[in-house]
Amino acid sequence: MSELNQKKGWVVAFAGFGANLSLGVLYSWGMFAEALQSNYGWTATQTQIPYMVACAMFALLMVPGGRLQDKLGPKPVILTAAVLTAIGFLMSGLILTVAGLSIFFGVLFGAAIGFGYATTTPTAIKWFGAHKRGLISGVVVSGFGIASVYAAPLAGYLIEQFGLTSTFYILGAIFSIALFVFSRFVANPPADYVPQQPPTLVKGTKKTTCAEANYEWKEMVRTPQFYSLWLMFCFGALAGLLIIGQLRSIGIEQASLTPQWATALVVFFAVCNSLGRICCGFISDKLDRRMTVVSIFMIQVFTFSFFSGFTTPITLFAGTAVVAFAYGGMLSLFPSITCDYFGVKNLGLNYGLVFTAWGAGGVFGPLLGGVVRDVTGTYNISYIVAVALSAVGILLALTTKAPSERKVLVSSSSVCPACGENIFEAGGKAG
């Protein structure tokens, strides 16, 4: 039965990967932005407004989406995302104005992303123990990161062949149908399900502690750890989002890339972004999640310090690889850290609240990048801001530790329902 449940867990994880693969077209917005600038006369700042709204709605709808997932299960939430995707893309194609795309791509499709993303990672994590949380988070969210590998060239081809309006229609049909299909395979484990235990824990060999699994959101937001995690996530996301929405333009303007190579840069970012999610998640399972976050911020400080000097194709591709890997790592680590600190039972809602930090980064990152480009003609000030925020992130990560007041020690025959670990020696505060 345990082996069968593990297989079911992997089915859920890869279905979540597929759903995120559909929703991850958001990271290909650079293709739409370039078309709006060149064919419709939008400014760089204007092209970032629908993207900014979509990022904000994505993050805000993670909260009710996570709560609905905890209460109703993932299927109805993903189906809602499918309907919103269909309507959002259809109406975006009909109304190609700043207001129109802000409402229908930004608000409706952004809400679809929030509902869909809120279900996939928390649902998959519930099938696995603490020793696999990072890897599973990385696998599921890597679908969102790698989506640009196919979505960017596909969007570019469709725009060239059929125009922007028809492109919205076609992509909306594809993604909404895909979400309907994947929703059939995403399910929470049974109420009495206990995830597989870490293989290194043998009964009676050692003592350990495990965070109590029932933090309600009201309890979580009263802890200093929540605010530290929120700020770290915001700063890390903002640094990456400064360039994601305009990466194609950066390639053309900063390194004189041809349009074809600029598209390849977007695809390359997606590959490295996805690899970062899986690799950093796996590393955090084996080592320490907090120190993995410290390492990622250090990588960002170093790379953004030199990013303005990446004016050749080779250096820009290399710098993009590092930034994308680090940014992807952030997206796999914070679901796992939230689960480690505050438990698995209310993970959908709790992680939704933490994820609003990504929304703040999504609002200010693209907007800052667009405004800086319009005012100064370059993105250099954006890179300096990314260095400063990443440096603060290092300090926060070094000083933030798991909540200690709700640590639990229970009898040696007990198994923690949150992580599947054996817990030894009765005593301590149960919270």
The predicted pLDDT at position 405 comes to 54
The predicted pLDDT at position 368 comes to 75
The predicted pLDDT at position 412 comes to 35
The predicted pLDDT at position 299 comes to 93
Query: Backbone phi, then psi, for 415, in 5-degree steps?
Result: -125, 130
Sign of CA pseudo-dihedral 277, 80, 89, 158: positive
The predicted pLDDT at position 213 comes to 54
DSSP per residue, 188-221: PPPTT--PPPPTT--TTS----EE-S---HHHHT
The model's pLDDT over 66-120, given as tens digits with 9 standing for 90+, comes to: 888 888 889 999 999 999 999 999 999 999 899 999 999 999 999 999 999 888 9
The predicted pLDDT at position 407 comes to 46
User: Which residue ranges in the chain fall short of pLDDT 50?
Assistant: 1, 201-212, 407-431
Alpha-carbon gap, residue 323 to 242, rounded angstroms: 11
Amino acid at 421: E
The predicted pLDDT at position 45 comes to 79
What is the pTM (predicted TM-score) of this model? 0.75
The predicted pLDDT at position 112 comes to 95
